[in-house]
Amino acid sequence: MTQSNHINAGRRGVLIAGALSATAVAVPGVAGAAQAVNTSGQAGFSPPPVLMQVSLDVNGQRHSLELDTRTTLLDALREHLHLTGTKKGCDHGQCGACTVLLDGQRINACLSLAVMHDGAKLTTIEGLGTPDKLHPMQSAFIAHDGFQCGYCTPGQICSAVAALGELRQGIPSHVSADLNALPQATPEELRERMSGNLCRCGAYSNIIEAIAEVAGRPA
């Protein structure tokens, strides 16, 4: 063998050794994945969902549901109880369209799992009032044109009802000047408390006017 051939053979040996070393590192993961596929009996296998019995008191009616533990409260209301007044907007807790009342407190239904609220009392927009007997907040939204397309309105109304409840309980907000005094339903307070509910139509001033009317103060 000439010196040139010897050098080439040496290079090939180095490359082969490197490839074998890399394969030795990678193969355990590949082998593990293959074993997992063989164990399941088919590619793409996923375990069945875990189901749980959940009892929800929604708008004064008791419902017993068997739900996938991953089901959000929003999907339980819309897809299982067919209460479609609660809207799915961003599905990330950023728009407030899915706001409902849980034991009197407002929450984003898209961020909460239904199984977390077994036995809880929920109020959706359907439970606040009826076409024949509107809730005062619903009447005020109509009187002040507090909506345009209306998609965000159920969440806006539920949030507004809860916001006034917070004021009555003396719960301060980030703009409350005196944390020891009872907060008032000023435009600044109402805007701050409603800041988690977005209206892409831009009916914010009318929404604040509607809430202020129910609170008994000028906007």
CATH of the domain at 150: 1.10.150.120
Residue-number span of the structural domain to which 182 is assigned = 129-215
Name the residue with tokens 């009826």.
130
Q: Is residue 70 part of a domain?
A: no
**Does the pLDDT at position 214 exceed 60?**
yes
Q: Tell me the pLDDT band of 46, cut-offs 50, 70 and 90.
A: confident
Average pLDDT over every residue of 106-121: 98
Instruction: Examine residue 158 and state whether it is found in any structural domain, yes or no.
Output: yes
| Domain end call among 30, 46, 62 | 46
Q: pLDDT category, 37, cuts 50, 70, 90?
A: very low
How does DSSP classify residue 76? Answer: I
* Kind of pairing between the strands at 61-68 and 51-58: antiparallel
How many independent structural domains does the chain possess? 2
Could you tell me if residue 35 is inside a domain?
Answer: yes
147: in domain: yes
In a domain, 175, yes or no: yes
**How far, in Å, CA of 135 to CA of 180, rounded?**
31
| Residue 98 placed within a domain | no
Q: Evaluate whether 55 touches 116 at the Cβ level (below 8 Å).
A: no
Q: Is the pLDDT of residue 30 over 50?
A: no
C-alpha dist (Å) from residue 66 to 10, 114, 193, 204: 67, 10, 35, 39
pLDDT band at 31 (very low <50, low <70, confident <90, very high): very low
